[in-house]
Structure 1
Amino acid sequence: MNIEVTKPAVRWFKEQFEENEHKSIRFFARYGGCGSFQSGFSLGISQEEPEHPLAEVQVDDFLFFVEEKDAWYFNQHDLKVKYSRTHDEIEFESQEVTR
């Protein structure tokens, strides 16, 4: 699994989490909401240090990651994190693994 975070999305994270010294961002499965990976679940965001990362990517001062325990949610797909100017928020996109 790979994680891609676009430059506009990184700018959004910088604005939201600029004053916090912890720059580790975890994407995790949570019950409810509308997600593009598993019906009835959506992605959550939290600031915490990785324990057993399945995937991680360092962009600028941020470490973005997914823990192994959330692998089921992604179902062999990559994660792309984008920023929506229309909604002024980040969006998650599922990308089928082609390797």
Structure 2
Amino acid sequence: MKILISSDAMHWFHMEMEAVKGDNIRFFARYGGSSPIHEGFSLGVTKDTPFEPAVTYKKEDILFFIEETDEWYFDGHDLYVELDSTRDELSYVYKKA
């Protein structure tokens, strides 16, 4: 399992979350909503400190990660983080590894 962040999505993190070098950004499973891989759950994103990261990805000196406790949500899929330019928000694509 891996995380990949597009350049447009990186720009979004800088602008909307004010992400700077040295920040840590966590993707996590949250109750509510839906996703292509889990009904009733959706993906959340927040600045956080890694505790037991299962997956990490560093881009522009910002660490993106998924904790071991949230690994179940991805069900063996890679996470591609892109930008939906029509809505100016993040979009997530899940691809089976």
Change in Cα spacing, 1:19 to 1:28, as seen in structure 2 (3 Å) is closer
Deviation per CA, 1:34-57: give whole Å up to 9, x if none. 212211100001111111111010
Instruction: Kindly report which structure 2 residues correspond to 1:32-51, keeping only aligned pairs within 5 A, or say none.
Output: 32-51=32-51
Q: Detail structure 1 runs of 4+ shifted over 2 Å in the superposition.
A: 17-22
Cα distance in 1 for residues equivalent to 2:61 and 2:20:
11
Q: Which amino acid aligns with 1:78?
A: D
Give the alignment's TM-score, normalised by structure 2.
0.92
Measured on the aligned residues, the alpha-carbon RMSD in Å equals 1.5
How many aligned positions are there? 97
Identify the structure with the greater strand proportion.
2
The offset of 1:29, in angstroms, is 0.2
The answer to whether 1:9 aligns with 2:9 is: yes
Could you list the runs of 5+ residues in structure 1 that have no partner in the other structure? none
TM-score normalized by structure 1? 0.90
The CA distance in 1 between the partners of 2:91 and 2:59, in whole Å, is 17
